[in-house]
Amino acid sequence: MPDLLTDRSARVVAARKLTRRSGRDDAGAFLAEGRQAVSEALAQAEGEPGAVREVFATEAAAEAHHELLAATRVPVRLVDEKAAASLSETVTPQGLVAVCALRDVPAQRLVTDPPQLAVALAELNDPGNAGTVLRTADACGAGAVVFGAGSADPYNGKVVRSSAGSLFHVDVVRSAPLPALIAGVQAAGVRVLAADGGGEIALDAAAGDGLLAGPVLWLFGNEARGLDPALAAAADVRVRIPMRGRAESLNLSVAAAICLYATQLAQG
């Protein structure tokens, strides 16, 4: 049995730097914690050598996830509990963390090869919301999620956890200048829809009019301020979600789920 790595071991110290965005950018890597995220990361690594650089596991986690870890060619390093806790951003560390290569793709890919459904987030700040939208986009068949300049980092620990593995299923574009991207995809034949409580057309009417047929890029804005008026104006259509009750608005991730599910239905 090899000696357990501690929180002072060079590999653990290097991995701990990935809990900060500057460290992730410098190393070109991020951390994925827990059974679900690590399982999805290792599945990705089967077809993409280098997608996962190494896995850290406590003895208890290594025993609990023996089949998962035994099946991978990725190096597995045993660490003590304190080292595992130092790599975790949760109250209750799971003792299983993968060091993964950043998964950015260039924004130009959405112009040259636009998916039927894509999502762009404009100054969406809450990591939990960002991860939930990413997970929902994956569930509804989106091919890409764009994190516009000023939005949460998709490799933030809370975003990765909230995505529940979906970060490994869709293309991710980071820090994209959205006005240029909108113009580019529109020129490529993509309809850009802005989710806006004051939109000129209701979601059900948009579906009935064929506006959700692909390729479509949905724009979602800041949790508190919504979309910047100039950005909303750049979209082809501003779409509102009709509400019969007295609620003033919907949580951003809930609104995104409604719009994306309606689009999934419309696109068959």
- 248 plus 225 within the same structural domain: yes
What is the share, in percent, of the chain residues with pLDDT greater than 70?
Answer: 99
- 95 plus 112 within the same structural domain: no
Q: Give the pLDDT mean for 158-187.
A: 95
Q: Is residue 132 part of a domain?
A: yes
3-state SS, residue 176: strand
CB-based contact 231:181 (threshold 8 Å): no
Q: What is the pLDDT of residues 87-119, one digit of tens each?
A: 998 888 999 999 999 999 999 999 999 999 999
Using DSSP bridges, classify how beta strands 144-148 and 191-195 pair: parallel, antiparallel or unpaired. unpaired
Separation CA 256–CA 14 (nearest Å): 36
- 247 plus 119 within the same structural domain: yes
* CATH classification of the domain holding 180: 3.40.1280.10
In this structure, how many other beta carbons lie within 10 angstroms of the beta carbon of residue 126?
20
What's the pLDDT score for residue 246? 87
The pTM for the full model equals 0.93
Domain housing 40:
10-101
Separation CA 156–CA 241 (nearest Å): 29
* CATH classification of the domain holding 20: 3.30.1330.30
- 89 plus 112 within the same structural domain: no
Q: What is the pLDDT of residues 207-218, one digit of tens each?
A: 999 999 989 999
Total domain count, the chain? 2
Q: Is residue 2 part of a domain?
A: no
- 44 plus 141 within the same structural domain: no
- 42 plus 78 within the same structural domain: yes
- Reported as half-sphere exposure (CB side, CA atoms, 13 A), residue 267 has a value of 19
pLDDT of 227 > 90? The answer is yes
Kindly provide the b/e burial profile for residues 106-123, where b requires at least 16 CB atoms within 10 angstroms of the residue's own CB: ebeebbeebbbbbbbbbb
- Reported as half-sphere exposure (CB side, CA atoms, 13 A), residue 196 has a value of 22
Q: Is residue 4 part of a domain?
A: no
